[in-house]
Amino acid sequence: MNCGTRERHLGKNGVIEMSYWKGKNAFVTGADGFIGSWVAKTLVDQGANVTALVRDMKKQNNLDVMGIKGNLNVVQGDLVDYSVLERIANEFETEAVFHIAAQAIVGVANRSPLSTFESNIKGTWNILEAARNSKTVKKVIVASSDKAYGVQEKLPYTEESPLLGRYPYDASKACADILAQSYFTTYSLPVCITRNANTYGGGDMNFNRIIPGTIQSVLKNEIPIIRSDGTPERDYIYVKDIADAYLLLAEKMDKKGIPGEAFNFGTETPVKVIDLFNKIIELSGAKGVKPKVLGEAKNEIDRQWLSSKKAGNLLGWKPKYSLENGLKETIEWYRNHLK
């Protein structure tokens, strides 16, 4: 799959049609992070005019890693500053908002709940309010998470499952999710909500996550670490499938019945952490590597995976990558990057 798969396609009578996003003004929060940078890159590849909000200008961020820094507008500011978001919406005549920025590390959320709540909850209501007061914004995508569902007796999660997030990160995403629903119900703001499975791929620089962390350790001939006991089950989806899903959902929001809805995006294939580790070892070509199992992960859900039937039925979406194919590309990405 190419990030620009919908840049050009054959329409009726064999005529080449341009991308839906050609010339449209899109605003991406979190574009200097993992998923946000892939969404921003996909939009840039398809001809959109992209504006990114960056809080801290780090020595190296994903705008540099993805090679798109010179192809979009970069505004330095913070989600908790409403005036910055209002200015971006007005000055750049924003038509579509992709709100992906969040404090997304569970361990950090457990240690620093207040900063997590401020970024993930206040940042979301600021985005929604700026969009509500804008005369140009036509659609808003708010990134929630499968963690918002919390612990459920019935799996897989469907969009009708209650939001039972209880730990700090999970609760913050559930709050952001409900705020988005509130703005649709109360103000008819055209907003949709995404609830992703665990997303992986090149460009994830948070090496305390199992996939990039294990790959980095293996490529550096270090002992990989598993923070849990290896038994938790998760649904893992490749980042290119997620970027494609976000753009497709935003495009489909032009149709009646889509705005206001939440959509799960996953592979519907749960994998145990230890099995995921073994698959990475196999695909990387390493032999005889054993992880250091800490068994100390706390405040995390033990079993979770998603049903993506709604996305399939209403959007015509399904993942293009198997876990094996996605991991192969991911390992190769890190092999090149870590050189």
Q: Which residues have a catalytic role annotated?
A: 169
Residue with tokens 């540099």: 64
For 315, phi then psi, to 5°, come to: -110, -15
Q: Are the C-beta atoms of residues 184 and 260 closer than 8 Å to each other?
A: yes
Per the DSSP assignment, residues forming a β-bridge with 97 are: 27, 140
What are the two backbone dihedrals, phi and then psi, of residue 50, each rounded to the nearest 5 degrees?
Answer: -105, 135
Strand-pairing partners, residue 139, are: 96
**50: nearest Cα among 34, 68, 33, 64:** 68
From residue 34, give the alpha-carbon distance in Å to each of 174, 237, 243: 21, 13, 11
Query: Which of 32, 110, 111 minimizes the C-alpha distance to 72?
Result: 32
Could you give the dihedral angle defined by the CA atoms of residues 152, 155, 161 and 165, in that order, rounded to the nearest 10 degrees?
40
Asked whether 253 and 315 are in contact (CB, 8 A), the reply is: no
What is the sign of the dihedral through the CA atoms of 132, 33, 3 and 263?
negative
Residue 265 burial (CB count, 10 A): 27
- Residue 219's H or E segment, with its range, is helix 210-219
Cα gap 298→242, rounded to integer Å:
27
Residue 202, both tokens: 């090149």
| DSSP helix/strand/coil, 321 | coil
> Residue type for 241, please?
D
